[in-house]
Structure formats: structure tokens, C-alpha cells
């Protein structure tokens, strides 16, 4: 049984500004953000099925961004929240009976094989895994009125990245239970795993593996690719 990937790309990306369309279809270097992301998973030899979750209105943008889809890539429509889009992506790879699944943000195009391998290697039948970086800034909790209430000790705190990987059936069941109970406030899959009692290992994240959130992130990503040899 192989490893599946779910790439969630159904967001509207409002923080990056709507003028030039959703950020996952903006071009960085020679290709759309989502084309870079998909390529990392589609070219990985251990990944046997991929669901790309898109907004129902983005079919034309997707076809323009990615001309030929490999046979093991399926396109599915997402939902109103990232959590819902992920659940729909998980259901779309069910018929492949994967042993594990990697769930990744479409707007993290700098994912590479090394990081995919590191996460995949840390998943077993009872544990998920996620890449994370130790928090380096000093953290402040704000009081009303914009003053500082307190300094939050950063020891042991990590900033979570994706891909987050899990035993497939465990995370699918956790998502379905959350859905059945009307819970839709989880911001990543490790939070659902935590809620469902699935243990998750932390592996070293990559500083390159940033999430393109703001318009400025997209400009920086484009400059970075222009400066590199490819």
C-alpha cells in the first residue's frame, strides 16, 4: 500500500489581494505556485495517488496552470474551510487504500523531496508526523489597547509547517468525526489528530518551506526563483 497526498488549494487567498486572482495560480519563476507544489509530489516515486483540492470556480485557472496532469492526480472541489477541503481530498483517495497520507498546503511551493521523505519516514501505524521550526522570536501576548500583557516563554514552541502525514484510516476517521460533530475550527490536521488522540511526531521543518500568504511573499518567491539557476 502506497502513500497518498492531498494538496489543498481551494482557498480564496484574500490576504494576498484579489486583483491578480488566487495566489496559488500566480506565476513564480516560470510556473504557477500550484504547479511547483504539485510537481514535488507528482515526481516522488513513493506517492501513488494525489488529490488536488480546488475551488469550484477555479477549473479554468487550474487547466491554464497545469497542462498535463499525471494519471495518478485527481482534481476535486473543496469546501468553505481548509478543514472541509482536506476532508474532501481524503475521501477522493479512499479507493486507492493508501497506508499513509501527506496533507500539504498548495501555497507552499518550496517543498522538496528531502522534506517529504523526512515526514514520510516518521509516520507509522500509530503516529503521524509534521515538520516544524522552533520559534525564534520572543512572543508577546497583547492586552486590550495594544499594550503588552505578558511575554510567552518560547521554550518548546514550534511553528508548524506542512506536509503533515498520518496513517490514512486514522486521520480520515478523525476528520469524519469532527465533521459529524460540527467541529470546523481546526486550523491544521495535526490539531484534529491531537483532538482525536493520534500521536504526532515533530520532524525538522525547512526554512525554505514558507507559506505564501501576502502579496509580498509572492514577489519574494518570484525573485528567489529568478535568481536561482532554474
Residues near ligand C5P (CB under 6 A): 8-11, 24, 53, 78-82, 85, 105-107, 211, 213
Shortest spacing between CB 134 and ligand C5P, in angstroms: 21
Measured CA to CA, the distance from residue 222 to residue 28 in angstroms comes to 4
Shortest spacing between CB 179 and ligand C5P, in angstroms: 14
Shortest spacing between CB 107 and ligand C5P, in angstroms: 4
Q: Which residues contact 182 (CB under 8 A, 6 or more apart)?
A: none
Q: Going along 72-230, which residue ranges are E strands?
A: 73-77, 100-105, 127-134, 139-142, 148-152, 158-160, 164-167, 199-204
CB-based closest residue to ligand C5P:
11
Shortest spacing between CB 67 and ligand C5P, in angstroms: 21
Nearer to ligand C5P, 11 or 98 (CB): 11
Nearer to ligand C5P, 96 or 105 (CB): 105
Nearer to ligand C5P, 9 or 200 (CB): 9
Nearer to ligand C5P, 19 or 148 (CB): 19
Which DSSP category does 64 fall into?
H
Do 196 and 170 touch, CB atoms closer than 8 A?
yes
DSSP string, 79-104: -SSHHHHHHHHHHHTGGG--SEEEEE
Amino acid at each position: 500500500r502506497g502513500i497518498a497526498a492531498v494538496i489543498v488549494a481551494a482557498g480564496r487567498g484574500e490576504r494576498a489581494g484579489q486583483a491578480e486572482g488566487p495566489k496559488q495560480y500566480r506565476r513564480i519563476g516560470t510556473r504557477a505556485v500550484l504547479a511547483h507544489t504539485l510537481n514535488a509530489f507528482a515526481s516522488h516515486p513513493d506517492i501513488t495517488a494525489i488529490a488536488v483540492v480546488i475551488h469550484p470556480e477555479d477549473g479554468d485557472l487550474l487547466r491554464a496552470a497545469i497542462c498535463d496532469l499525471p494519471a495518478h492526480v485527481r482534481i476535486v472541489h473543496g469546501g468553505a474551510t481548509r478543514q472541509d477541503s482536506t476532508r474532501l481530498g481524503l475521501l477522493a483517495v479512499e479507493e486507492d487504500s493508501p497506508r499513509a497520507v501527506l496533507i500539504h498546503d498548495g501555497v507552499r511551493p518550496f517543498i522538496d523531496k528531502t522534506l517529504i521523505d523526512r515526514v514520510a519516514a516518521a509516520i507509522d501505524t500509530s503516529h503521524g508526523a509534521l515538520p516544524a521550526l522552533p520559534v525564534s522570536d520572543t512572543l508577546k501576548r497583547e492586552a486590550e489597547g495594544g499594550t503588552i500583557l505578558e511575554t510567552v516563554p518560547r521554550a518548546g514552541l514550534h511553528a508548524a509547517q506542512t506536509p503533515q502525514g498520518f496513517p490514512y484510516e486514522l486521520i480520515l476517521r478523525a476528520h469524519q468525526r469532527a465533521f459529524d460533530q460540527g467541529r470546523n475550527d481546526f486550523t491544521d490536521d495535526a490539531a484534529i489528530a491531537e483532538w482525536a488522540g493520534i500521536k504526532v511526531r515533530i520532524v525538522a521543518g525547512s526554512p525554505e518551506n514558507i507559506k505564501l500568504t501576502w502579496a509580498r511573499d509572492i514577489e519574494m518567491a518570484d525573485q528567489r526563483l529568478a535568481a536561482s539557476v532554474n
